[in-house]
Amino acid sequence: MIEPVIIAVLALPLATAFGALVARTPRQADAINIAGALATAGGALGLAIAGIARADEPARGGWYVLDAGGGVFLAVIAAIGLLSALASPLQLTGQGRGLVPAARARGLYYLAFHAFWATLLAVPLVDNLALAWVLIEATTGGSALLVAFSGKRSALEAGWKYLVLTTFGLAVALLGIILLYSLDGSGGDLAALDWRTIAAAAPRLPETGALTAFVLIVAGLATKVGWAPVHNWLPDAHSEAPPAVSALLSAALLPSVALVAWRVLATLGPALDPGAGSAVFLGFGLLSLAVAVPFLWRALPWKRLLAYSSLEHMGVLALGIGFATPLATAGVVAHVAGHALAKSLGFYAATPLLRHVADANREPLRGLAAAGPASATAVGVSLGALAALPPSPLFVSELLILLGGLAAGETAVTIVAAALLALGFLGLAHALIEGLVGEPRPRRWRPGRSARQIVRLTVVCTAAMLVVTVLACLLPGSEPVELLMRGVA
């Protein structure tokens, strides 16, 4: 039975959260966090494999669906959650900016972290648009507390900004969901918002009303995905959150909300004019790339640079979803996994940077190779992958998405996107060179334990990215991609 396993996987992080909260010492809290994370990730990855393997016959229940699309995103959320949980004890230990060693504060951190992770794991599994909205809204509270966890004024402002802007956007999405529910006219219960029910009802919905509902829902979700022009919370939240939380926000939260928007397109698309739904995604994609590029060309602090890179890569996902061809879909799958690994590694590298480089949160990196080889390697691998340098999986995924755009007949959009991606590459390449071999600033560097953990995380993430690169080359034209295109809804 799938349902008991799903319930257990979602309950495990909640049990871990409360266990860490009542722990008497920091060591106990860390041990509970690691044990719970390993169990949660193992169960979630098992579910993800089952969903992908049974793509032609998705498992469904009264409230859940385990299909190929959900399986891919569930695997990413599980992997990044585990890595972030393993990286969390280091960022909570010792002295430094935003570091809280007290056992009580650790418990509160783990409570918010694992509750946030549990909610994220549930998003790809729910079989109802309204329930998906509730879960996305629920992620806001815990993640806002985590963004503001350091207690600094700038962190509190970033957390408040994130809370207000995303809540407003989700209110717009809720208005669209209510409108969609009213269009059906069947007088049914909330089951009318199940994904299969929406897909079955779409052909008979009034075109204008369906388009209005679609735009409201996607535009509202766009604030949580971080698509331009409703991305304003993204740079501040990523800059102020603890590094492990930033990784979970960028690599897990943003793609999981994008999956919900993708399901809306797949189910409600038949009610719209041909190409209308895809045009909305293509618009968000191009605008996100265009807004991100000027910032990628500026000398930015490390975590802020990663935040604008998230804006760029979420724009790439929007383009892949909007092109809606097998090649583009293969690119989306590879891009979600590759971006998650590269971006999370970059944020994990920020832990020793923030601890040992006093101005790392205010000034761009310079000459890191001479000061901290372990962090320099992590930064180099992360930024090289995000810039889509071969053999990065993002090089393959972006190529697949662009080829998918040509296959979809969107030649002009593809050319513009390719030009913007080239400009983004140049900006990230410049940041990579300056950050590693530029003229270093005077600093004291005593990495110690942090260097060993960063080396381990770099090895794991690099190996995983190479595996994703190989798999990405096998995806085009494969049966899993065909099933994913049919089974995302």
* E strand or H helix at 384: helix 373-386
Digit-coded pLDDT (tens) for 72-82: 999 999 999 99
Nearest to 469 by CA among 480, 458, 477, 461: 461
Quick: pLDDT tens for 194-212.
999 999 999 999 999 999 9
Mean pLDDT of 287-300: 94
> pLDDT tens across 232-278, in order?
999 999 888 899 999 999 999 999 999 999 999 999 988 998 889 99
**CA dist., res. 87 & res. 406, Å (int):** 41
Question: Is residue 363 pLDDT above 80, yes or no?
Answer: no
In whole angstroms, how far apart are CA 145 and each of 131, 265, 275, 369, 437? Answer: 22, 31, 40, 34, 36
Answer yes or no: is pLDDT of 445 > 60. Answer: no
Average pLDDT over residues 20-28: 87
Q: Cα Rg for the chain, rounded, in angstroms? A: 21
Higher pLDDT, 362 or 82: 82
* pLDDT (mean) for 153-168: 92
pLDDT of residue 103: 61
- Of 146-155, 183-192, 463-472, which has the strongest mean pLDDT? 463-472
**pLDDT at residue 454 is higher than 90:** no
Question: What's the pLDDT tens digit per position in 32-59?
Answer: 999 999 999 999 999 999 988 877 788 8
